[in-house]
Amino acid sequence: MNTVIAVAIVFGSIVMMVALVCGTVLTLVKARREGLSPSGRKARTDEAAVIQELYQGLARMEKRVEALETILMESQGKDGYTR
């Protein structure tokens, strides 16, 4: 019984290692192909532009929130309570 379990563990480990190596190779091949194709470059450029727009929008929103916090703090300081 112990021998069967040991063989199953060894065989399962070998199968998992082969699957891991094959998956890694396929991922590398896919990444290399996408990096060389013009459509892959266009998609990455578009994605980078969208991320940059989001970042700029969030930066503007952060400034607005800070301004609103300042206004709120000033109104609390003058009256001593929240309206």
Amino acid 83: pLDDT? 53
Quick check: helix, strand or coil at residue 1? coil
Side-chain half-sphere CA neighbours of 63 within 13 A: 5
Clarify whether residues 73 and 52 are in a common domain.
Answer: yes
Clarify whether residues 1 and 29 are in a common domain.
Answer: yes
Q: Is 81 left (phi over 0), alpha (psi -120 to 50) or beta?
A: beta
Which residue range is the domain that position 56 belongs to?
Answer: 38-83
Clarify whether residues 43 and 79 are in a common domain.
Answer: yes
pLDDT tens for the chain, residues 1 to 83: 678 888 888 888 898 999 999 999 998 888 777 665 677 778 888 999 999 999 999 999 999 999 988 888 888 876 665 55
Amino acid 75: pLDDT? 82
Clarify whether residues 32 and 44 are in a common domain.
Answer: no
pTM of the predicted protein model? 0.46
Clarify whether residues 46 and 57 are in a common domain.
Answer: yes
How far, in Å, CA of 69 to CA of 73, rounded? 6
Clarify whether residues 47 and 83 are in a common domain.
Answer: yes
Exposure class string for 37-58: b at 16+ Cβ within 10 A, else e: eeeeeeeeeeeeeeeeeeeeee
Clarify whether residues 55 and 45 are in a common domain.
Answer: yes
Clarify whether residues 30 and 20 are in a common domain.
Answer: yes
Q: Count the domains in the chain.
A: 2
Amino acid 2: pLDDT? 77
Clarify whether residues 80 and 46 are in a common domain.
Answer: yes
